[in-house]
Structure 1
Amino acid sequence: MCKPLSEMSLEELWQLFPIKLTEHQDCWNDWYQQEAEFLRSFLPPSSKIHHIGSTSFNGIRAKPIIDLLVESDLSDFSSIKKLLLDNGYICMAENTRRIDFNKGYTPDGFAKKVFHLHLRGFGDNDELYFRDYLNEYPETAKEYEKLKLSLWKPFEHNRDGYTEAKSDFVGEYTRKAILKYGGRYDGAL
């Protein structure tokens, strides 16, 4: 019998859930749409749901995990956390301004559909700018894919290292995108 995820060390979790990059799948957008519709059925109506991360970029390899950004009022975080936990999500990290959740992680490994949900206050959404920039500039998206492929095997069982190794690239192009797109995603409206 497998140990519950809550009792596993970070190293055990990284072994069970290695980084795996796959070819872009057309179904990823459908999976996002289905999950967003499910989330809208119980989240506060003012919440905004976005598809972010590499599965939202056109045509590059990605971990087959759908990243969702949910923007909401900070005062709703406690009730939203309870709603997400009641609807199949696991809280992975939390502070006063951000809460991260996963869905589709099992003691036997990944489920067919896996989601990372990032709960943030309105306007804490730099990932949207990065997404838009990489979709507008496919050559930059291919550079990002090349970087990810170079990091895959060295960091296959170290998600924190993998994320950190990409941070300069992500930061550079996020800054460029924010300059280019101005306040496209400012505020709650």
Structure 2
Amino acid sequence: MMTHDPVELVPYDPQWPETFRRIRDRLLVLLPQARSIDHIGSTSISGMSAKPLIDIDIVLPGLGHIEGATDVLLAEGYEPRGNRYDAEVWAFLSRGSVPRERVYLCPLGNGTHRNRLAFRDYLIAHPQAAADYAALKRRLAAEFRMDGDRYTAHKREFVDTIVARALTGDD
């Protein structure tokens, strides 16, 4: 499914961490069973240009909690976006909030969640890798301006390399 929204990168907004905290606090009230609610993606990396979209992983105690949490998110007006990248991770997109929120439900111990945290933390700790990623994103956003799926797909090799480095402890 090709998305027709243009790939829009904006400069880092110093309000993003506070926006995340506000969203997290609201989600914790709605989903008190959550083991953690983590800010992931480019908006979680200080100085990184990003799509104006706060990405959030909600870690639930297990797969048995996904259905109930899904019902809560749907009642709050989140749109289901399926599980395109990982059979055990479900995505939801907020309607009407600025910036938009993309929320993922993950069971405890999920590999995709572990990899996202590893990637985020590695880029925060390695400014040159973060600069390389920012440059790659700018180039891809120009090349695939009207094709968000290909934009994302072409970041995969860089992301996988960083995740492998982060998980093996290589600098």
Give the TM-score, by structure 2 length: 0.90
Give secondary structure in 1 for the equivalent of 2:27.
helix
Name which of 90, 97, 111 aligns with 1:99. Answer: 90
The amino acid that maps onto 2:118 is Y
Q: Gaps spanning 5+ residues in structure 2: where?
A: none
Report if aligned partners of 2:11, 2:50 keep a CA contact under 8 Å in 1: yes
Deviations 1:133-188 (A, max 9, x none): 0000011000000000000022112111011100000000011111129xxxxxxx
Identity of aligned residues (%): 29
Contact 1:69 1:119 in 2 (8 A): yes
- Quote the offset at 1:96 in angstroms: 5.2
Aligned length: 164
Question: In the aligned structure 2, how far is the partner of 1:91 from the partner of 1:47?
Answer: 21
Residue number among 138, 150, 157 corresponding to 2:146 in the alignment: 157
Superposition deviation, residue 89 in structure 1: 0.7
- Greater Rg over alpha carbons, structure: 1
Paired residues for 1:94-173 under 5 Å: 94=83, 97-104=88-95, 111-124=97-110, 125=113, 126-173=115-162
**Which one-letter code corresponds to 1:116 in the other structure?**
R
Rounded Cα–Cα distance in structure 2 between residues aligned with 1:42 and 1:30: 19
Q: Give the whole-Å Cα distance in 2 for the aligned partners of 1:122 and 1:172.
A: 24
Instruction: Check whether the contact 1:104–1:113 (CA below 8 A) recurs between aligned residues.
Output: no
Instruction: Give the whole-Å Cα distance in 1 for the aligned partners of 2:159 and 2:150.
Output: 14
Point out 4+ residue stretches in structure 1 off by more than 4 angstroms.
none
Q: CA deviation at 1:113?
A: 1.9
RMSD of aligned alpha carbons: 1.6
Q: Please give the TM-score of this superposition, normalised by the length of structure 1.
A: 0.82
Note if 1:80 corresponds to 2:92.
Answer: no
- Structure 1 gaps of 5+ residues are 1-9, 106-110, 182-189
Q: Distance in 1 between matches of 2:132 and 2:71?
A: 39
